[in-house]
Amino acid sequence: MGTLHLIRKNLGRKKLRTTFTLLSIAIAFVLFTLLSGINQAFNAGLELAGADRLITMHRMSFIQPIPISYHRRIEAMDGVEAVGHFTWFGAYFQNPRQQFSLQPTELSGLTDLYPEYQIPEDQWQRLMNNQTGLLVGQGLLDAYGWELGQQVPLNSTIFPKSDGSYAWPFQIEAVFTQESTANEIQAFMHWDYFNEARAFGQDQVGWIVTRIADPDQSAEIAARIDERFANSPTETKTSSEQGWTASFAAQFGNIGLIVQSILACVFFTLLLIAGNTMAQAIRERTGELAVMKTIGFPDSRIVAMVLGESVLLAVVGGLAGIGLGVLFVQGAAASLTQFLPGLAVTGSAVATGLVLAVLLGLLTGLVPAWQAGRLRVVEAMGRR
């Protein structure tokens, strides 16, 4: 028999109470894991954003268009490697509530901007030769169950064609893959097809992406771009891709803060519940602890045993909760690929959860352990 055996036996003496405490801890950690997954989904784009890319948009908002002529002017600047322009199409397939990102762009320059996109050469050639050809991310293709070569009628919530119809026919000619599924939930169409067929807004684009040679110069080049268009009818705001992605995510609210606030409330409540349970469990064993001290167990050993008990309880509950949470997130990620493509539990979230469980155990055990350590044998035995 070792100390761990004694701790386990003590936890098992009131099975119902231990089970309920474990359940409450596990549920809190399920919530922690789910919210970590959601937070990760909102931050996935941020992590993948290139350090060497700048986004230029209308100074007011990215809904306001900017002239396509800015593209060539930026391209001529020093330190610029490649430039491309994009526009929000507002695409949906069959269900207007399920919009996804479809961007008209000059496809020939796309991989200069995003070298991380992998596209098979034969598909690329077919895409270049078909004006209505569509380049689709593997994730989006899987989400809708589309196939390469398939005709897909897509609708725009913003742009009608010159004939007044919002339906745009396409043929899937190429599929791209990328290291993260999150960035595969999008598609690209030929700029010329879009610009010639749309009813309004010709030669206006949504935003311009610039790849620069030296990421250390991003702030300086961004300032130069905005300076170049200052005092024009269409002033610009240029930021790094990371900054742009972060501000885009912020439109949904500060997800990180919301997640942290919810978790803080949950864990504070849990701290009180589990702390009270531990305190009660130790109070009930006052006599036994006094006997242990009588036998010769030093105060420090008693404190360590009580803390060990609360940490074991929290870690077992935490592990169960994190495990369940990971299963839930994996299940949800499969069915929510379109809406939350980056939904996943990262290794660091699991590690944070484990640290949190240990901290929870230490904090809930702190007061009972201190009381057990201070227990005076003569008084405790007299109380019995």
Partner 1 sequence: MNEKTLDHIVELKGVTKTYHRGRERIEVLKQLDLEIETGEFAALMGPSGSGKTTLLNLIGGLDHPSAGEIHVSGQRIERLGSRALAKWRSNHIGFIFQFYNLMPVLTAQRNVELPLLLKKMSSKERRDRAMTALEIVGLTDRAKHLPRELSGGQEQRVAIARAIVSDPDLLLADEPTGDLDRDTAGDILELLQTLNTRHGKTILMVTHDPAAADRAGRIVHMDKGRLLEEAA
Q: What is the per-residue burial (b if ≥16 Cβ within 10 Å, else e) of 158-177?
A: ebbeeeeebebebbbbbbbb
Cα 80 from Cα 73, distance rounded (Å)? 11
Nearest CB to partner 1, comparing residues 294 and 330: 294
- Rounded to a whole number of angstroms, the minimum distance from the CB of residue 315 to partner 1 is 20
What SS3 string covers 310-370? HHHHHHHHHHHHHHHHHHHHHHHHHHCCCCCCCCCCCHHHHHHHHHHHHHHHHHHHHHHHH
Nearest CB to partner 1, comparing residues 278 and 340: 278
- Rounded to a whole number of angstroms, the minimum distance from the CB of residue 376 to partner 1 is 8
- Rounded to a whole number of angstroms, the minimum distance from the CB of residue 285 to partner 1 is 9
Question: In this structure, what token pair is assigned to residue 190?
Answer: 């030929």
Q: Where are the alpha helices (DSSP H) in 229-254?
A: 241-250
Cβ distance 108 to 129 under 8 Å?
no
Interstrand relation of 80-86 and 207-212 (parallel, antiparallel or unpaired): antiparallel
Nearest CB to partner 1, comparing residues 30 and 290: 290
- Rounded to a whole number of angstroms, the minimum distance from the CB of residue 368 to partner 1 is 17
- Rounded to a whole number of angstroms, the minimum distance from the CB of residue 306 to partner 1 is 15
Residue ranges binding partner 1 (CB under 8 A): 1-3, 5-6, 9-10, 12-13, 287-288, 291-301, 377-378, 381, 384
- Rounded to a whole number of angstroms, the minimum distance from the CB of residue 357 to partner 1 is 24
Nearest CB to partner 1, comparing residues 53 and 293: 293
Cα 44 from Cα 35, distance rounded (Å)? 14
- Rounded to a whole number of angstroms, the minimum distance from the CB of residue 337 to partner 1 is 50
Residue 186, phi-psi category: left (phi > 0), alpha (psi -120 to 50), beta (remainder): beta
Measured in degrees and rounded to the nearest 5, phi and psi for residue 38 equal -65, -45
- The type of residue at 160 is P
Nearest CB to partner 1, comparing residues 9 and 283: 9
Nearest CB to partner 1, comparing residues 2 and 164: 2
Nearest CB to partner 1, comparing residues 97 and 384: 384
Residue 289: count other Cβ atoms within 10 Å of its Cβ: 21
